[in-house]
Structure 1
Amino acid sequence: MKTKYLFLFIFLLSSVSAFCQQEKNVEDEYAAYFTLPREALYVHLNKTTYFKGEEIWFKGYTYDQKNQLTSKATTNINVGIYDEAGNQLKKSLFKAENGVIQGNIAVDSTFSGGTYYIKAETNWMKNFKESNAFVQKIEIISEEVAKKNTTETEANYDFQFLPEGGHMVANTKNTIGFKLINESGKGVKASGIVYDSNKKEVASFEGNTFGLGKFLFQPKADQNYTAEIKLENGNVLNQAVPKAKNRGVAMIVSNPFPDKVIINFNTNAETLKSNPSKEYKVLIHQNGNLKTIAFAFENATEKIISIPKKELFKGINTITVFDDKNTPILERLFFNDFFTKKAKIHVSKLNMLNDSILFSISESQLKDNANISISVLPEMTKSYDPDHTIVSNFYLKSHIKSAVENPQYYFRDMNRKKKYELDILLLTQGWSRYNWDTIFGDKPNGLNRFENGIAISGTVNRPKPGVDRLFLYATKNHSARFIELDKDQKFTITNLFLEEGEEIRFSYMTEKGLFKKPSVYLRFSVSDEEDKISETTIKENSKVQSNSADFQLPENFFYDNSEQLDAVVIKAEKKKEKRDPILINGKVTEITEIETQRYINITDFIQYNGYNVSENLGRISITTRRTPKASPVIYFDNARLSSFNILYNLSTANVERIIIDKTGLGEGMNAGFGGVIKIYTRTTPLFKKGEAAEIFTGSTAPFAFTPAKEYYAPKYSSYLNNTFEKYGAISWIPELKLTKTKAVNFKVYNTKTKSITLFIEGITESGDLISEKRTIQIR
């Protein structure tokens, strides 16, 4: 009897489990998969082909895919260089501010001529199976000739029939996409005829220059079809047409209209006979946004659905059709241009200024402020060949599974013809990069966090008792402050932006207010794991032959003295400053043993020099003695203080120099009526020997931020030769703000080039993307 009840319980449990699985809500599963926001990156390079000795200049743009805005969640962007096999050679950390980064990487002696890759990603991107890291192939030209295998091989072609939605259905209308590529993955133009088994022509087709096209076809059940494909070179290919399903649903999407998209669903009598009232669900979705439409054929073999584009999502939308068992049966991507705004960039030459040319740039179509970058190259350049623009990268790449030949073509100067060709491209892409088995399966867990700066955890080892806080000295990006310790004398500091080679320094304060050197164990936390570019990604970024394949750098192309030299550090005895370069009436006092004996704390010194100083429970107030009373502007290690509490109990022995200017002249209106005080903490010992000579401990981060440098152009020996015209660089403008109301001027060095080309990439405050190419005649 117990066994009988046990079997009954197991049966009921399995039935409930099966029912729950069957009733799994598609919309909820989809929404759960896209709960975590997804970042994408685009990096605008000044070139893609470089000489040894040049710099790779770049600007990176981060993007929130769901909201289609600049992403500001992450500040840490890792940018690396990888060899031809995808192995990491070097990696640097760059700081994003307001969603953009600027940087450069030297093409130094570690590079040899050949192929490399630049990759940029964030730690957050590692949470997702669908990678949004940016990868771009680059070429390096050196004095050595890069030998390439030029052995000719017999041309091979790959022709594919790609039914719209994923399959053909017999005895009904279908749209069949097709693609013809050569062994290098390049599209090949061709035309063809489809024959039935009796050699009767039933359809014809013709592809574009990318080898893509489509045609209408109504196959019969259990019929075999073949296609005869004719290439432009006269070659003929024969290809079998995939067999149509006897039952099912076909989908035809029509997207030439400015305000709506029409979806035509077709089926046959055989399908209706098996289940005439069967219901289907259409999900139109994009990065977590979705719209659901239910339909049934209702004893008809055709169902037409018209959807206003304003109810859908900007850019690529995915249509997925589910049957009554929540199984995806059809999928198709299409581009919704209803919300996309086209920038209208105006660039004009104003005049010559000495050895420079002044330009004016504005936009009249977008009604929003924009942040852009510009690469300025000779008109005949061969050195700029990026896989994507910012538009194709964010609108197209993040939705498709495979690489696309010349994706920039579809979005630059988009017209009716290009919209039609883009629709064919999306038809032949098949299903999107997001796999439904994955969506219904494991969801992203977010274990890799958004990274903002460097985190430091530390423990004070000496002195062990009595220390409850440490003094953290100012750095380039942070003001000085006290760090509280817990009961075990441990501490954590987050969001630190330490630059390469920059030292972080600590002291602890004694009861007498003296800074002493602690023994501190530090652990830095920031992601810097070595990685590798996958073979699939490398294959997608490969091309037939690089621009530099048969090119050799000519002699004396650069000036002999044009190579950038390492910084030279001259060590000398530090002189005492007598005047401050800004404070005209500033009185400079170098703190010696005499001052430390006369003034125990620095606030005593300030009070002696004409200010009222009050202390109350650790709070410091400083005002002038004259009426009306006003507080001075105080700088602590060049960081302006918003509160003076850091000066509480600060020993004068810890200060190296103090400058007081009661007038504040030179500081402008910022000084107000209280004057200016500048305090500099001690970096040299006050005493020549003894314990007091060691007042801090310091350490550098093993992986810190690379500071952005100002662009400098290479010094070419001549701007009039063929090499400069093809591979030289004129200028790089990484940061230019376009406003809604007026034009912005910029200037470039005059290389006497007849015509120049500007490659412009950027994004507006509301998330509209800008990608423009402008050629301007100079002479």
Structure 2
Amino acid sequence: MKKFFLMLIAAGCSVLAVHAQVAPAKNEGTMKEVVTRLQALSTDRAIEKAYLHFDKPYYNPGDTIYFKAYVTAGERHELSKISGVLHVDLVSKNDSVMQSIVLQLKNGLAWGDFALPNYMSKGNYRLRAYTQWMQNAGNSYVFNKTIPVNGKSISQVYPAKAASNKTDVQFFPEGGTFVAAVPSKIAFKAVGSNGMGVYVKGTVVDNNNAEVAKFTSAHLGMGQIFITPEEGKTYKAKVTYPDGSVNTVDLPKPEAKGVSLSVNNSDLTKLSIDINANKPYYLDNKDKEINVVIYSGGVVKTVKTTLDNQAIGFDLPKKDLSSGIAQITLFSGSGVPLSERLVFIQNEDGVKFTINSDKTTYAAHDKAHIVVNAHTALDKASVGNFSVAVIDESAVQANEDKESSIFSDLLLTSELRGYVEQPGYYFNNVNTDTRNNLDVLMLTQGYRRFQWKEFLTEPTAPMAYQPEVGMQIKGTLVTKDGATIPNEKITLMLSATGQTLTTNTDAAGKFNFLGLEYADRTQFLLTIDNKSIKNKTKLILDKTDVTVPLSENNLPEGKIDEKLPDYTAADAEQSTPTKTRELKPVNVRTKQSYRSSSLAGAGNADQVIFNKDLKNFPSLSQALNGKARNIDFTDGKAYMKTSLAIANGKTVLEPMMIVIDGAITNSSIDNIQPGDVSSVEILKGANATVYGMGSGAGVMVINTRQGGEVAEVSKEMAPGLLSITPKGFYKAREFYSPVYDVAKKGPAEGRTTIFWKPDLITNEGGNVAFDYFNDGPGQYRIIIEGIDNSGNIGRVVYKYTVQ
């Protein structure tokens, strides 16, 4: 083999995925053109990603989900300055939005929370986060995280069942080519009907049924085979499944004339890249130019040589590459992509944390003093804004291999197609096995045929979505007949202070107040300045909701009812009905877009009444009276006209069960202001039975407004004057951290999240300290995550004992 070491030509090409489309140019088919196109992407289409750090891995009903959002721009993971707005949704297990908030991003950072209803049914919920700019790539970079809720439900929990027992096995030649007479590496992946990896083993035989190789899964159904295919032969894999059954799968047909690209990623310091051509290809292309393009961390590196040998190789130092996925592509001299390989680089280039606690072991309720130093691999101080969570791991057990982290999300799963099982495994305890198995993952799940043709030939698609830098209030000024009115002055006034902003309508009668910063539920007045036309015109507000269409949760982890460790003290605090009964599963008829806390899910109520029909009434019972069909209201109680019961020998009306944001209550519905209600769902008969005993008189589910979920126009105060309450930025609640009197220490409170601080800011020396009080005995776990000001990613886990 011809082996050499080349100095690489590096071209700065930050931020963009290479599969984006660019406009065709005159000099197509040259390597200069490939590099030029990649460089052009860096200024046009920056990628934004979001990662959310949560306070703990799963929750109970009544818990608060605390999270810190990190939004990055580009493949160097620098905190984004593109977007100023982040949308975050809590999605039910029935795939409807339960709560939605809007957060203000400052230098790519924000934090928020969701209060879970006290009576949620057990299951896998979901939290997603996105910016408007992300929508230019569809759902590719929308953050999605499964949120297990370990609730006590009055309805029976039915584990998800697989549609069949079929296991899918696929084989992937390295580089996408399987060339006759060239040593080849073929990766395989076996996936069960539930989407999880399945252990398989087997043999490879040729068309004469002669055995040429054996294989066995090494990790989560993945493995690899080494084979040199012979010209004129075909190959099959005889796969043996866990139940002993056997199936035959055809391997790709070897190419009679071809060239392959292989990469050895086992060395910690370098990549060994080999180009192997079989004899027919070599003879046809001898001494012709070939090129290798390496795309890593937004930087393009190229290697140019000639095919003067059937086997050519070179080494590439890993220190020249960024941690994460690197894409290596072999091109012909005319710019035709021939073979491609993805590899994962794990350099020591992230933030390193040193944690010191004032004690190695604490007593219950002791105060903990934690000192943290953050530094880079070069021992330079790491200055940044991090987040820290402390949990009682004895109560909230965690599987670090299954957990996602800031490393696995930003560097791995956001760049691969499909579901990555146990992402934490590849980062928690990096060793030879984890590196080898990660390389096989790149060969299977990172496998792509080619997307270069579209990249090199198709025109640039226009950017449909622009970044949101702040909130906006926009609309149109029209006559009573609907004709637009241009060049009129519109004033926006903050009701509380009288501060004003003004703008003029454009030629189409439209007005827009951009880049606003205001809290959710802030009241404004919107008025027309020209008094002479006030009685002849009206203001129409545009809907400013940019909600991404909600897709069904097809992730395997969203379909599996995994047994979660029970909370200890926290479970005891949940109110549970004294009697329950087993119920039949509820059939969800249609997906609805409104937020629902109903156990039946959105779209399964007999009647739904929305905020617009409720807000202008003095009490909720008055608002519902006459709208809720066949229901009477007395003293804040709701009664179905057909719900008769016998009590002490007398026939009486039985009140409906009232559920407010998932919590069953006996209080009056008039304790809630009509304007604070998002929707009211009425469940009767079979639809109500999901709530078990006590639902015979029907169920009224009241969903209150959450995080900006308000009607934008409150009402017209006078001609040309609107009172509006537009969606605004959610203000995160402060985490409650108790302070104990040393002389009066009480029993453990059963807290599972002991401490949460989303703004852990290191100083110029990379240092920061924080204090909190422990709860009861247990094994405690500190998790710090974040990104420093230079785009270095960091995570650390530190454990200690409370006796």
TM-score scaled to structure 2, two decimals? Answer: 0.67
Q: How many angstroms does 1:210 deviate by?
A: 1.9
Deviation string 1:101-149 (CA, Å, 9 cap, x unpaired) is 1111121269544332111000001112462110111233243254214
Q: Deviations over 1:303-330 (max 9, x none)?
A: 1122233443442111122334533231
* CA positional deviation for 1:240: 3.8
Q: Is the Cα–Cα contact under 8 Å of residues 251 and 265 in structure 1 kept in the other structure?
A: yes
- Aligned: 1:752 with 2:757: no
Aligned mates of 2:295, 2:488 — CA distance in 1: 57
Contact persistence 1:165–1:430 (CA under 8 A): no
Aligned to 1:614: none
Checking the alignment, whether the CA contact within 8 Å between 2:527 and 2:722 is kept in structure 1 is no
1:750 & 1:554 partners in 2: Cα distance?
16
For residues 77-476 of structure 1, what are the structure 2 equivalents within 5 Å?
A: 77-108=86-117, 111-129=120-138, 131-140=140-149, 141-149=151-159, 155-229=165-239, 238-286=248-296, 288-298=298-308, 300-338=309-347, 340-341=349-350, 343-350=352-359, 355=365, 357-363=367-373, 365-366=375-376, 367-382=381-396, 388-431=404-447, 435-439=451-455, 440-457=457-474, 472-473=493-494
- Where 2:352 maps in the other structure, the secondary structure is coil
Q: Are 1:454 and 1:525, in contact at CA under 8 Å, matched by a contact in 2?
A: no
**What is the aligned partner in structure 2 of residue 498 from structure 1?**
518
- CA-CA distance at 1:343 after TM superposition: 1.7
Q: CA deviation at 1:97?
A: 1.9
CA distance in 1 between counterparts of 2:82 and 2:25 reads 41
What is the alpha-carbon distance in structure 2 between the residues aligned to residue 720 and residue 213 of structure 1?
48
The CA deviation at 1:453 is: 1.4
Cα deviation, 1:727-769, whole Å, max 9, x if unaligned, reads x433322221233536433334432132112232211111111
> Matched residues in 2 for 1:551 and 1:414: separation?
31
Counterpart position of 2:563: 547
**Partner deviation per Cα, 1:279-334 (whole Å, 9 max, x = no partner):** 33322114653222233322x21111222334434421111223345332311111
CA distance, structure 1, for counterparts of residue 274 and residue 351 of structure 2: 30
Once the two structures are TM-superposed, the CA of residue 708 in structure 1 deviates from its matched residue by 1.2
Determine the C-alpha separation between the residues in 1 that align with 2:542 and 2:791. Answer: 32
1: CA distance, partners of 2:566 / 2:777: 25
C-alpha contact (below 8 Å) 1:128/1:444 kept by paired residues = no
Alignment partners' CA distance in 1, 2:121 and 2:515: 37
- The aligned counterpart of 1:528 is 545
405-414 or 524-533, which deviates more: 524-533
Letter in 2 for 1:496: L
Unaligned runs of 5+ in 1: 1-16, 511-516, 561-693
8 Å CA contact 1:146–1:548 kept in 2: the answer is no
| Matched residue SS, 1:546 | coil
- Using the alignment, how far apart are the partners of 2:90 and 2:765 within structure 1? 40
CA pair 126-736 structure 1, distance change in 2 beyond 3 A: same
Question: Which digits, 9 at most, give the CA deviation of each residue in 1:459-512, with x for residues without a partner?
Answer: 9999x9x99896855979xx94664768999975322112122123579999xx
Count of aligned positions: 616
Q: Is the 8 A contact 1:78 1:92 kept in 2?
A: yes
The aligned residue for residue 35 of structure 2 is: 27
What does residue 763 of structure 1 align with? 787
- Contact 1:145–1:552 (8 Å) recurs in 2: no
Judge conservation of contact 2:176–2:447 (CA < 8 Å) in 1: yes
Secondary structure (helix, strand or coil) at the match of 1:498 reads coil
Asked whether the equivalents of residues 469 and 515 of structure 2 are also in contact (C-alpha less than 8 Å), the reply is yes
Task: Mark the CA change 1:227 to 1:447 in structure 2 (over 3 Å): closer, same or farther.
Answer: closer
SS of the counterpart of 1:410? helix
Between the aligned partners of 2:144 and 2:371, the Cα distance in structure 1 is: 30
- Partner of 1:26, secondary structure, is helix
Do the aligned partners of residues 498 and 236 (structure 1) sit closer, same or farther apart at CA in structure 2, a change above 3 Å counting? Answer: same
1:180-206 Cα offsets, whole Å, 9 max, x none, are 233323223444443444554433344
- Structure showing greater radius of gyration is 1
Q: Within 2, Cα distance between the matches of 1:518 and 1:452?
A: 35
Q: Does 1:44 align with 2:68?
A: no
| SS of 2:283 mapped into structure 1 | helix
2:64 to 41, 55, 58: 55
Q: 1:76 aligns with which of 85, 102, 121?
A: 85
Which residue is 1:668 aligned to?
A: none
* Distance in 2 separating the partners of 1:427 and 1:195: 22
Tell me if 1:772 matches 2:796.
yes
> Residues 50 and 56 of structure 1 are in contact (CA less than 8 Å); yes or no, is this contact kept in structure 2?
yes
Name stretches of at least 5 consecutive residues in structure 2 with no aligned partner: 1-23, 480-484, 577-717, 740-745
Match of 1:739 among 759, 763, 767: 763
RMSD: 4.4
User: CA contact under 8 A between 1:43 and 1:61: conserved in structure 2?
Assistant: yes
| Residue aligning to 2:615 | none
Conservation of the 8 A alpha-carbon contact between 2:112 and 2:733? yes
Question: In 2, Cα distance between the equivalents of 1:413 and 1:23?
Answer: 43
Q: 2:711 maps to what in 1?
A: none
- Give the fraction of aligned pairs with identical amino acids, expressed as a percent: 25
1:28-83 superposed Cα distances (whole Å, 9 cap, x missing partner): 44444553111000011223432222222111110112342011221111111223
Tell me which amino acid in the other structure corresponds to 2:519: E
Distance 1:766 1:180 in 2: 40
Higher RCO (C-alpha 8 Å, min separation 6): 2
Q: Is the 8 A contact 1:284 1:319 kept in 2?
A: yes
